[in-house]
Amino acid sequence: MDVRSRRRADAAQRGVGVAVLVLIVITQAMRPSLRDAVIFAVPALALLIDALHPLPALPSLPPARSRAGLAALLIAAAVLVLTPRYGNADMLALLLLGLAAGTTAWGSTDRLTIAWSQLPAARRRPVRRAGLAWAVVLVTLALWELSAFLIGVTTPAGTVTPPSVSSALDPYFADFTSRAVLVGLWVAGGAYLLHRAMLAGRVIRR
């Protein structure tokens, strides 16, 4: 895949991302949950505007391995573990983590295109397979959540319905120990991916 093909693939992925976010917005509005609908509408609108008129890259944040970045991650993780779920502090921590990930990843399409063009042909196939595997997992979870929601809103009250992804995970997050472990793994995994993205950006800018 050459650079031009990669850019077409990036455009297609961006379009799919916008479509998925719009579906989430519609689903949240039907629940109804205006707050969640607005949260997902903002990145959908940003992606759509960026597709029509590229937005400037956002300022870089401190690397996840720096003292400031590590302190911010530890504070966010502590808030997610110690404060009530779905509370104001919990939502604020999630929003700030989302903004941190967004500012790091925003404008990374050009960096990914350059990195892809420099990647040896032998390594491109495993990258494609990994991307496909992650896509299958995410789409499966999304379809599970959406089908559970649609069944729930179309079934008479009191009828037993299949659990959603969030409902199935609720028992694990209700226990303090398991919640701490899951939040720690989630934050650590996200920090690792953001750190890799920022390293790639610095390498390409040299």
Q: Report DSSP letters for 63-97, one per residue.
A: PTTSHHHHHHHHHHHHHHHHSPTTSHHHHHHHHHH
Considering its fold, how many domains does the chain have in total?
A: 2
Q: Are residues 123 and 176 in the same domain?
A: yes
DSSP-based three-state secondary structure for 187: helix
pLDDT of 32-77, one tens digit each? 778 888 888 888 888 788 777 766 665 555 555 567 777 888 888 8
Give the global pTM. 0.65
Cα separation, 94 vs 99, in Å, equals 9
Domain boundary among 35, 55, 75: 55
Q: Are residues 113 and 189 in the same domain?
A: yes
Q: Are residues 87 and 108 in the same domain?
A: yes
pLDDT of 159-206, one tens digit each? 778 888 878 888 878 788 888 998 999 888 888 877 766 665 554 444
Domain of 68, in residue numbers: 61-205
